[in-house]
Amino acid sequence: MTQRITTFDCETIPAADAESPFWSNEEERRKTSLDGNFGRLLCIGYVTEFSDGRPLDYGCFGWNEDKGILAADERSTLSGFWQMLADFDVSRDLLVGHNIFEFDLPFIVKRSIVNGVRPTVNFNLARYRNRPIYDTMRVWDCWASRGWTSLGKLAFALGLPSPKDGDVGGSNIFENWQAGRHREIYEYCMRDVKTTRNVFRKMNFTFPEALPASA
């Protein structure tokens, strides 16, 4: 059975509103970048391919190549993501990511509801499964309750290049976005996607397989 495998990663930024009853200062507002109730989705990078190694598509929702910007248009980003998954078959296909059970997918689902974007797939986030959602962190750590392995550490353990080159990272996405370093954030997101995809392939003994030339 040939599966469609979609590997993805998202980047997030804090709530837009400076004032709220749920935070009293700028430091607390910045922490909302990890909170799907208030934080905003900046972009979603992805690679989609078939299980036999044939490439299908890759890209980054939220990234405007012509303008070289990440506009933080959540509705457009979410619409693109769910449209890509419109024909996702939960009995056959896989959605792959690192720590997507705890962070990426819940964040995306919450922001979809907040923004009135109806998901095209009803993902069951029940734990201790690796289909149709394959969380490389959870599977690698055997669903341990603590001591989770970061993507960078796992890549190193598996002999893969680190996705964390440069000074743009998950902890400073907002500052770099404000500073106009949008392309570097986009490239960082896509490195995470490529690394997660290769980690998945390593873990399933199907590495290496070709990626699209520009992915």
Name the pTM for this structure.
0.93
The fraction of the chain above a pLDDT of 90, given in percent, is: 80
What's the one-letter identity of residue 22? F
CA 95 to CA 158: how far, in whole Å?
21
The full DSSP string for 161-210 is: --S--SS--GGGHHHHHHTT-HHHHHHHHHHHHHHHHHHHHHHTT-----
Give the pLDDT score at 194. Answer: 95
Consecutive sets of 10 residues in the chain, 215 residues long: mean pLDDT of each? 91 92 93 96 96 86 96 96 96 97 96 98 91 97 92 96 84 94 96 96 84 53
Residue pLDDT, tens place only, 6-19? 999 999 999 998 88
Phi and psi dihedrals of 92, rounded to 5? -135, -45
Residues shown for the chain? 215
Please give the mean pLDDT across all residues of the chain: 93
Beta-bridged to residue 6, according to DSSP, are 48, 95
> Who contacts 150 (Cβ-Cβ below 8 Å, separation ≥6)?
137
Q: Are 15 and 41 in contact (CB under 8 A)?
A: no
Q: pLDDT digit string (tens) for 72-97? A: 999 999 999 999 999 999 999 999 99
Coil/strand/helix, residue 108 = helix
Contacts of 47 (CB under 8 A, 6+ apart): 6, 7, 8, 55, 57, 58, 193, 194, 197, 211, 212, 215
